[in-house]
Amino acid sequence: MSDPARVDDPAAIAAADPHGARDVLAGFPAQCRAGSLIDAARLPAVKRPRVIVIAGMGGSAAAADLVAACAAERVEVPVVVHRGYGLPSVAWDDTLVVAVSYSGDTVEVLSAVDAARTRRLPVLVVSAGGTLGELAVKRRLAWARVPGGLMPRMALGYLFFPIARALRALDIDVVAADDVAEALGVLEGMAQALGVERPTADNEAKRLAVAIADRWPAVYGGPVTGPVAYRWKTDMEENAKTFALAGALPEMNHNTIEAWRAPLARNLHLVLLRDAGETPEIRRRFEILSDLVSDVAGGVSVCQSRGRSVLARLLSLAYLGQWTSYYLALLHGVDPWSVPRLDEIKRRLSGG
C-alpha cells in the first residue's frame, strides 16, 4: 500500500512530480480565463451550419465532449464528437469541422482535415502549432492558436474555451457569457482548496486519492456529467497509470450493475459524480445503486458538482478529477506528467 503521508510531504511531491504538473493544475483557472479570450484568426463567414463535427483524440477530445455537453443543453445544432480517422458520413453539406489537437500532430485529426478538404467543408483549427498549425497557415484555415508547452490533457481550458468563443462568433452560443464568468469564479475558488499546500484532512482531492489508494476507480456520472466521468477515467489512466472504469446512469443500470458482485468488486472503488441538476429519477437511481453496491465495493466516494450553470458543474467535477488523479499518481509513485507508452505508439506509427 502506498504511504498516504506522501501527498502532504513537499519534498516527496517535488521528487515525484519533476515536471511541475502541480503548477499547471494550480494554474488551471487562469488558463481557462486566458483561453476564454483567445480569438480564432480567419474565422469563416459560414452560414449557420447544419451540424458541427469536432475531430480530436484523447485530451483534446475531452474539450470536444465538453462543447457537446454544453451545446446539448442550449443549441439546436447537433455537435458530433469524432474520435478516429477521416470524418463521419454526417459531415457533408453545411457542416463545420473543428479540428482540435493540442500538439497539432495527431494523425487522426490531420486525416479529418484532409477529408474536410476533399468534401470542401470549412475548418476551424484549435492547436498550439505542429503540422496542423502549418496547414492552417498554408491553406488559410481559421486557427485559434493556443499557448504551447503543456500536456494536452492539462490544456483543457486552452482547448475548450476558444472553441466556445469561435462558435459564439458564428452565432452558436454553446455557453452564455454569464456562465463563463461563473465557471471561472468556481474554479478559482477550488484551486486553493485542492492544491498541494492544503493538507489531506482539508483537501477533497487528496482524501479521494487516499481513499481509492490501490483499488481501481469506477467513476459514474449522470446524463449530464457522464462525459466528465469518462474524463476522470482517462486522467486516472494517463496521470496515475492505473486502470479505471467509467459510465453513466441510467445506462449502467441496464448492464454494468450485474458485474458489481463480490469478490471482484472489492478491487474497485466506486466514485459517484453527483450533480445539483439531477432529476428526481436520476437521484433515485443513484440511491439504489449505492444501496446495492456499497457492501461489495472496496470503497465508495461521492463527489458533488459546484456552481449553477452546466459549464461550472462540469468543469468543477473535471477539475476535481484532475487533482485526484494527480494525487493518485503521487501515491503510486509515478510521474503524473509523462506518458511514455503513448509516446512510444506515436513514435512507432511515424516510423521513428
- How far is C-alpha 183 from the geometric centre of its chain's CA atoms? 15
Smallest distance, ligand F6R to C-beta of residue 339, A: 5
If you count DSSP H runs as helices and E runs as strands, how many of each does the chain have, helices first? 13, 9
d(CA 317, CA 319): 5
Smallest distance, ligand F6R to C-beta of residue 272, A: 25
Q: Which is nearer to ligand F6R, 150 or 268 (CB)?
A: 150
Q: In terms of Cα–Cα distance, which of 241, 302, 237, 246 is closest to 275?
A: 302
Q: Which is nearer to ligand F6R, 101 or 203 (CB)?
A: 101
Q: Which is nearer to ligand F6R, 120 or 348 (CB)?
A: 348
Smallest distance, ligand F6R to C-beta of residue 305, A: 23
263's grid cell: 469478490
Q: Is 198 exposed, middle or buried (0-12, 13-18, 19+ CB in 10 A)?
A: middle
d(CA 67, CA 167): 10
Element (H, E) at 278: none
Smallest distance, ligand F6R to C-beta of residue 279, A: 32
Q: Which is nearer to ligand F6R, 36 or 101 (CB)?
A: 101
Residue 297 contacts by C-beta under 8 Å, 6 or more apart in sequence?
Answer: 218, 260, 265, 266, 268, 269, 270
Q: Which residues bind ligand F6R (CB under 6 A)?
A: 57-60, 101-103, 106, 109, 151-153, 238, 339, 342
Q: Which is nearer to ligand F6R, 19 or 261 (CB)?
A: 19
Give catalytic residue positions: 238, 254, 346
d(CA 166, CA 172): 9
* Torsional sign, CA 153, 163, 311, 270: negative
Report the residue closest to ligand F6R, judged by CB.
58
Smallest distance, ligand F6R to C-beta of residue 192, A: 25
Smallest distance, ligand F6R to C-beta of residue 59, A: 3
The answer to whether 286 and 278 are in contact (CB under 8 A) is yes
Backbone angles phi, psi at 272, to 5 degrees: -105, 125
**Cα–Cα distances in Å, from 9 out to 1, 4, 6?**
17, 10, 5
Q: Which is nearer to ligand F6R, 101 or 242 (CB)?
A: 101
